[in-house]
Amino acid sequence: MNLPADILVYGSLNMDFVTYVHHLPQAGETIAASSFQMAPGGKAANQAVAASRLGSSVAMVGRVGQDELGCQMKAFLEQDGVDCRYVLDAPGDHTGIATIAVDPTGQNSIVTYLGANGSVSIDDIDRTAPLLATARYAILQMEMEQQVGEHIIRLAHEAGVRIVLNLAPVVPLDVAIYPLLELLIVNETEASQLTGLAIHSLASAREAAELLLRKGPGHVIVTLGRDGALLCGPDVSEHYEPPRVQAVDATAAGDCFVAAVTHFVNASGDLKEAIRQAVEVAALSVTRKGAQPSLPTMAEYEQFRRTKEVQP
């Protein structure tokens, strides 16, 4: 029996095809990979798995193709305790995929194919009303039709559910959407795209976050990669530095952070402490290869906190 979920995650499910290379290819360049991995991914699916492994009760909403990859995606989610009742098949569509190249420093280059993710409809979202009736948080990204994403936000807000929007990729949201958000989370590139500011320092990241806050969300978080994260709110502006680790693969680190913030703030109600912990969880994730394979359990995170040393 599926229990009520505290956290609902709406969005993309992709199978990741990951190559590990000596350097990221330039335009027109062909290079050989040193190793290859196929693993479940997709921003939303990563976030659902990350929150579940930390101990939240999670339900996933999205679509996969009627193909072998889609069957595998749902099986992986179910193995991690994610409620997949609302992960539907999309007849005639392929499951979404991502091709990812990762260099020795853990930096990556990603190309995604939306596939079945693009067929998530407003009717699909309306069917999740029973989940929204008991949920506390909804997480979404914008790897879907924009009107569908905006409908999720409005429906969740009407249900009294707190909304965490990871605005990736950047789309021109209706200005009335921003005040409905509990948390707006973007990385440096996305913050720059949204504000027109070149982000090259903590000060410029803070300036961008303050501009985004004026749009109306409760709080804004700008993730800064190896430099941690910046929180900006009505009465707070705080930078969180991550522990230093040996990065192997940054794939899904941002998704890990989004899920961890949501998990910890739901558990404690303390946003500042939730961000501090989420920065640590994301740092642990980059010491491992792959998207979902890199996402830590709570036991692994607690061990990491005790040692603050992780072998690559």
Instruction: Give just the sign of the alpha carbon dihedral 213, 214, 216, 218.
Output: positive
**DSSP secondary structure letter of residue 242:** P
Rg for the chain, CA atoms, rounded: 18
**Catalytic residue of the set 89, 103, 255, 270:** 255
The span from the first CA to the last CA of the chain, in angstroms, equals 39
* Ranges assigned E (strand) in the chain: 7-10, 14-20, 35-41, 58-65, 83-90, 96-102, 108-113, 137-140, 162-166, 183-187, 219-223, 229-233, 236-240
- Name which of 67, 66, 69 is nearest 45 in CA terms: 69
Neighbouring-strand partners of residue 221: 185, 231
Nearest to 190 by CA among 154, 146, 220, 218: 220
| 255 noted as active-site residue | yes
User: CA 221 to CA 190: how far, in whole Å?
Assistant: 11
Between CA 96 and CA 114 the distance in angstroms is: 5
The single residue listed with the structure tokens 């000060």 is 203
**90 in Cβ contact with 110 (< 8 Å):** no
Within 10 Å of residue 68's Cβ, how many Cβ atoms? 10
- Which residues are part of the catalytic machinery? 255
